Each structure stands twice: as C-alpha cells, then as structure tokens.
Amino acid sequence: MFYWVMKRIIVGPLLNLLFRPWVKGLDNIPASGPAVIVSNHLSFSDSIFLPVVVPRPVAFLAKSEYFTGRGIKGRLTALFFRLSNQLPMDRSGGAASSSSLSAGMDILNEGAILGIYPEGTRSPDGRLYRGKTGVAKLVLATGVPVIPVAMIGTDKVQPIGRRIPNIRRVGIIIGEPLDFARYEGLEDDRFVQRSVTDEIMYELMRLSGQEYVDAYASTVKERLAAEKAAGRKTPRPGADTRRAAVRMPSGTTDPAPGAVTEIGTRPQETTASADPAGNTSGNTAGGPGSDTAGVARSGGPKKRRWARRTSPDQ
C-alpha cells in the first residue's frame, strides 16, 4: 500500500513534474512473470526514478547499511527502504551475500520483478565498472529473462555526497530482454557466471554509452579513499595536465607577433655572417637553425627554460 501511494500519488507525480524523465523501450518490460532488471548505477536517485517509470512494482537489492543505522534517523531510513520494496544486500561476499541472493530468488519465485545493480555500488566517476557475478547466479538458477536498463544523467541530478538534487531532466533506456537459457544446467560453473555477467555489462555499456573499466568500482573507491586519507591529491580520471603558467620579466617590451621570447635565460650576442651575395644574417639562440627554435629545450635535468610564442591575434 505504501509503495503504491508513494509511486502514484506523492513521489511519482512530483518527479514527473520537476525532472520530466524521458523513457525509451518501456514495452520491453514484460506485462507478467518474473524478470531481473539490471541497471548501471550513477546515483542514489536511480532507485527512485526507475521504479517510478516501470509500470510493475520493482523490488531492489539495496546495500545492507541502509537497514542497520542506529538512532531515530537510522530506524526511519530502514523503515522507508523496507516500505519502498527494497531488500538488504550484504556485499561482503561469502555466506552473507549468498543469503541476500536467496532473498532475491524468493522474489523471482513469486513472479515479481527484481532490480539489481551488477556493479555493486555507485560509479565513482561516471564510468561503467566490472560487474559482480551475483546477478548471473540468480539468472542461471531461475532461468528468468534479464532486462538491461541504462540510467542517463542521474549523476548530474544527485552526485555522490549531495543531499539536495539538482533540477534537470533525466533519461531511462530499457533494452530488449536477454535470454541465457543456453546455459541451463551450468549455473555452478564460475566461467559461465563470468561470461553471463560480462555479456550483461556489455549491453549496459552499449545502451548507456559509458566508458567501461575492467575493475570493480568498490576497489577503485577504496583506493581513492586511501589516497585521500594519506593526503595525496588524486586527479580526476581523464583530466588533462594543465601547462605551467609563466610571467614575463619586468621591464620587457611587448614582443612582436610571431616572435619567440625566452624567459629566464641571458640573451646571447648575434654573430654576423655573410652569404655569397654579401648580405649578412644573424643566428641567435632562438633562430631556426638553433636547438632552441620554437620552444626552448631543457638545459638539463634540473634546469628548464620556458619560451612563449605570441600569435598575430595577440
């Protein structure tokens, strides 16, 4: 009852009014029968936008920390997640994770739709990370179809660490069902589990257009947290290194357009030479025939000379 009221009367209309989510491929959701929805995970709000647009109820496996909070706030959070049709998922591995997967299997055996994030956690940088094989174990054990879903732009609405979302439009792309019936009887084969998981992740990459990283997102998050704790500044993935800025020495005049100005070096004398026609020309440290033509080269492993070229537009 709570789920229906939140979706149809409170949360659903509010999200449609403010964020105007666009949906593609909604007809790929089966009208009846069990199915597993797998999605990329960019933001906390993924678990809100996706159930709103899917016509059938979706039970999500959420991290167990949402259900174990202390105090009044922790209890209210746990109550909200339970009432909103979400189940605790222990991500520590081993027997604890197997127990959580059994709860998901019970949902599928009841003919309902189960939602899973194969990455296991939110992406730390918007890229798609390696999937964990828990989803393959469920699919192979039950034989249900897999519905791939790509969430678009939710990381811009609510980035990691942000409580109040930004008001902007989001998108949801629902792909065609994936059938893994060809692997019937091989649900305990770990190589088959990895193959099925990788096929699911490839489809998510194709739908979302994300860059794929062959590493677990949880491992990357742990490394980033360790570097932050150690006080090392970690550059954002894919960020370009910015060039060092230099300042012109005081008392110098503006260089002519197209000229090369060396900074931090002593001007060298011009040596005159005559060509066969009797004309004289000068070779300086910055001339076309010297080692410092264009951009000044390094004077050694510890000594650098910087040069700036001015264009006619300056």
Helices (H), 19-164: 46-53, 71-83, 94-109, 134-142, 154-157
Element (H, E) at 24: strand 22-24
202 exposed, middle or buried (CB, 10 Å; 0-12, 13-18, 19+)?
middle
Residues spanned by the domain of 147: 2-229
Same domain? 128 vs 32: yes
User: What separation in angstroms does the CA of 63 have from each of 59, 68, 78, 192, 279?
Assistant: 13, 10, 11, 26, 82
Question: Which among 282, 271, 144 is positioned nearest to 200, based on CA atoms?
Answer: 144
Residue 96 pLDDT level (bands cut at 50, 70, 90) = low
CATH number, position 212: 3.40.1130.10
Q: Which residue has the higher pLDDT, 146 or 302?
A: 146
Q: Does 14 fall in a domain?
A: yes
Residue 276 is assigned to a structural domain of this protein: no
| Domain membership flag for residue 277 | no
- Whether 167 and 58 map to the same domain: the answer is yes
76 and 142 part of one domain:
yes
What confidence score (pLDDT) does residue 193 get? 97
* 31 and 129 both lie in a single domain: yes
Region 65-89: what's the mean pLDDT?
76
Asked whether the predicted pLDDT for residue 247 surpasses 60, the reply is no
Same domain, 104 and 42: yes
300 and 188 co-located in one domain: no
Query: Is the same domain home to 256 and 160?
Result: no
- My answer on whether 75 and 33 are in the same domain is yes
pLDDT digits (tens, 9 = 90+) for 5-53: 888 898 899 999 999 999 999 999 999 999 999 999 999 899 889 999 9
- With respect to residue 275, please indicate whether it lies within any of the assigned structural domains: no
Whole-structure pTM value? 0.69
The pLDDT of residue 90: 67
d(CA 100, CA 137): 12
- Distance, in Å, from the CA atom of 191 to the CA atom of 87, rounded to the nearest integer, reads 28
Rounded distance between C-alpha atoms, residue 155 and residue 153, angstroms: 5
* Residue 239 maps to a domain: no
SS3 35: strand
Residues 164, 25 share a domain:
yes
Residues 58 and 170 in one domain: yes
Lowest mean per-residue pLDDT among 42-51, 114-123, 181-190, 295-304: 295-304
Dihedral angle, C-alpha 210, 214, 219, 222, nearest 10 °: -50
Number of structural domains found in the chain: 2
User: What pLDDT, on the 0 to 100 scale, is given for residue 6?
Assistant: 84
